[in-house]
Amino acid sequence: MSLEENERKELIRYRLQEATETIADVKLLIENDRLRAAVNRIYYGMFYSLLALGLAYQFETSKHQQLLGWFNKNFIHEGLINQKFGKIINKASNRRTQGDYESHVDFDKEVILEMFGEMQDFISEIERFLHQQ
């Protein structure tokens, strides 16, 4: 099923807006010491931006590992996007899984603040890359 070009552009815009809105959500979660939830939203903010990137390249999946693999193969390994962004999303994915599925996981607020900064950089990089294309 192929989306029409206008629908695709609108969906890309929506996913980028969703990523940006997640930044505000994370800020509230950190301010209220909801660190496990913040880790989840940090990851999802980046995931939404990757969904936008996938749409721009007509790659659509709801599977997280499939999307991360596609991103790493086509953008990180090809040198189109700095490899630090591959490390950022992979680290966030691992921490999100840990926070969502393991018992008694405590995240240090300093780590979460670092992740929050990386999330904002990641989303900005994906937006920059998309607008450059």
* In contact, 48 and 22? CB cutoff 8 Å: yes
**Residue 52: band (very low, low, confident or very high) from pLDDT cuts 50, 70, 90:** very high
Domain residues of the chain, as ranges?
A: 5-132
Q: Cα dist. 76→27, 51, 69, 86, 89 in Å?
A: 28, 16, 10, 6, 11
Would you say the pTM of this structure is higher than 0.95? no
pLDDT (tens digit, 9 = 90+) per residue, 58-104?
A: 998 889 999 999 999 999 999 999 999 999 999 999 999 998 888 88
- Domain at 5-132: CATH code: 1.20.120.330
How many other β-carbons are positioned within 10 Å of the β-carbon of residue 92? 23
Q: What is the pLDDT of residue 56?
A: 96
